[in-house]
Structure 1
């Protein structure tokens, strides 16, 4: 039976809160955006209520709220662990915000939501197992199988950016270079996050060449055949490509959809795919690693699709 109610979509990031709607035609429309009140629960909930009220004509009384959020969502309690956003850190958004809004609220991690959007409607459509590789300021991930998000222990699945897995040696132009295992804010040492995302690329450039440059500058110089930038990207491809291939071997993913800022650099993702194809147990005829189709609002779209899977009111 065709649903009649729209889905209210919220994306909660470290800096902004975005409001959107997925209408009855499954179109996602961005409605509003504000700087998130990062420290006050009362200010945060007041802003959410105000944003929804201002756009109430887009919804119905039965519209559920689908939230894509930074941080970890505990599967048993719904408690959010997002230490960089104290406003809702250790709050159960589904229960507490649901009571305030008098609506059904569904909450999930943003990387997982992105992966679900890609698996159901984007670059991973038609694939049984899809891995979402987030290469933004840091490294994150999500896993979808048979159209469902795989949620593991403590809400953690697909976190390939953390754990002591970073290479300590890379080969650049036939010369082996040693790399220090850097301390990670997660508390471990040697995480891929230290060298893998945009900030990691900058760290790697500084480590290899003792030069400071932004990830945008490094990528631009790489595309212009600059020698130092080429060395940095060559090392980055090894550092990121090996654990990504390992992740594919473990999960059985036949498509990796890349999100985050680095996903917008098509030649970089194509180069990453070529490296990964060389490391996986069986090379595929099709591309394994591709840019995601929902780089900007994949979290909100995935949250809305999750709401459609889990709510009985639509």
Structure 2
């Protein structure tokens, strides 16, 4: 029998479910996918919404005459969350979706679904997806990077997520940007510190730096477009951004020495990053050569929910 894995991507505005059918020969295919709005601010409604998504998916797949004879139900369930599970309390911490903080999400979902449920940080799920069968498939050490609204990361070693004793492995966004110069203006971070990687490398940080330099409020996409059109200020910020990213990733390479770094989030769509950043990071990597590869994600926005299925 084939194994059915459900991945859930729990976001601040939407919840996505993906059904991944893993066949006996190890191949897999997507057999179900759906998105609904997140019941923002309502914890109990969020738990119920996730449970109902899984149960509805199973009922629909049961009625599929081609799939029903080969799938093994109930399905396995993994959930990617915008936070982490505290090793001290077993409850959610560090979540952007603040109504999850302090709640026993894993226990409540297991009770609602009457089965084990695996939870992991959404950046860890992204890294796992790309390590299992994505852009970094077959690699021993993978660092999955999120550079979107925020700046996060996840580490996968030999196909397993590295959580760490504090459940924060890979959270490089709240390390300071290394090797800062006088021209690198350190902005305040929501965490209470100044000069975090997130304030330089996230899309929102990128926009803040442009606003500070020019007085113009532009989206990251607009700034990138301006740089491509020859705007001097936008192009200078792009050059600085790639230097900042090279520095930030160089510090990770010096500690983790990953085979592959995979970028996700809105800023990962800037194609020139993959050409230019590896030309820069050798200036800060403590090695005579840097063989680490920098890659875009194979599964794009679907990597997080696929990674949750692989939990």
Q: TM-score normalized by structure 1?
A: 0.87
Structure 1, residues 151-190: CA drift from partner, whole Å, max 9, x if none?
A: 1132101111103336642xxxxxxx63432221112221
User: Is 1:301 matched with 2:298?
Assistant: no
User: Is 1:201 matched with 2:206?
Assistant: yes
Give the superposition deviation at 1:19.
1.1
Give the whole-Å Cα distance in 1 for the aligned partners of 2:194 and 2:238.
22
Structure 1, residues 102-159: CA drift from partner, whole Å, max 9, x if none?
A: 1210000010111111112111122211111111111111111111111113210111
8 Å CA contact 1:198, 1:261 repeated in 2: yes
User: Is 1:156 matched with 2:168?
Assistant: yes
8 Å CA contact 1:183, 1:190 repeated in 2: yes
8 Å CA contact 1:163, 1:188 repeated in 2: no
8 Å CA contact 1:263, 1:295 repeated in 2: no
8 Å CA contact 1:63, 1:103 repeated in 2: no
Give the superposition deviation at 1:61.
4.0
Does the C-alpha gap of structure 1 residues 41 and 125 become closer, same or farther in structure 2, counting only changes over 3 Å? Answer: same
CA RMSD of aligned residues (A): 2.1
8 Å CA contact 1:277, 1:288 repeated in 2: no
Does the C-alpha gap of structure 1 residues 281 and 164 become closer, same or farther in structure 2, counting only changes over 3 Å? Answer: closer
Give the whole-Å Cα distance in 1 for the aligned partners of 2:154 and 2:233.
33
What residue is the counterpart of 1:181 in the other structure? 186
Structure 1, residues 262-309: CA drift from partner, whole Å, max 9, x if none?
A: 112222332222222443233657562111212211112112222xxx
**Matched residues, number:** 297
What residue is the counterpart of 1:146 in the other structure? 158
8 Å CA contact 2:51, 2:109 repeated in 1: no
Give the superposition deviation at 1:17.
0.5
Q: TM-score normalized by structure 2?
A: 0.88
Pick one of 126, 140, 149 that aligns with 1:137: 149
Give the whole-Å Cα distance in 2 for the aligned partners of 1:219 and 1:287.
26
Give the whole-Å Cα distance in 2 for the aligned partners of 1:305 and 1:83.
22
Pick one of 10, 13, 25 that aligns with 1:12: 10
What residue is the counterpart of 2:127 in the other structure? 115
Does the C-alpha gap of structure 1 residues 283 and 262 become closer, same or farther in structure 2, counting only changes over 3 Å? Answer: farther
Give the whole-Å Cα distance in 2 for the aligned partners of 1:232 and 1:285.
25
Give the whole-Å Cα distance in 1 for the aligned partners of 2:206 and 2:270.
13
8 Å CA contact 2:8, 2:80 repeated in 1: yes
Give the whole-Å Cα distance in 2 for the aligned partners of 1:183 and 1:46.
37
Pick one of 37, 40, 44 that aligns with 1:38: 40
- Unpaired segments ≥5 residues, structure 1: 170-176, 307-314
8 Å CA contact 2:136, 2:260 repeated in 1: yes
Question: Which moved further from structure 2: 182-191 or 11-20?
Answer: 182-191
What residue is the counterpart of 1:216 in the other structure? 221
For residue 23 of structure 1, give the secondary structure of its aligned residue in structure 2: strand
Write the mapping of 1:1-314 to structure 2, written as runs, cut at 5 A. Answer: 4-25=2-23, 26-56=28-58, 57-58=60-61, 61-75=73-87, 77-165=89-177, 168-169=180-181, 178-282=183-287, 284=289, 288-306=293-311
Structure 1, residues 176-216: CA drift from partner, whole Å, max 9, x if none?
A: x6343222111222111112111111112122233221100
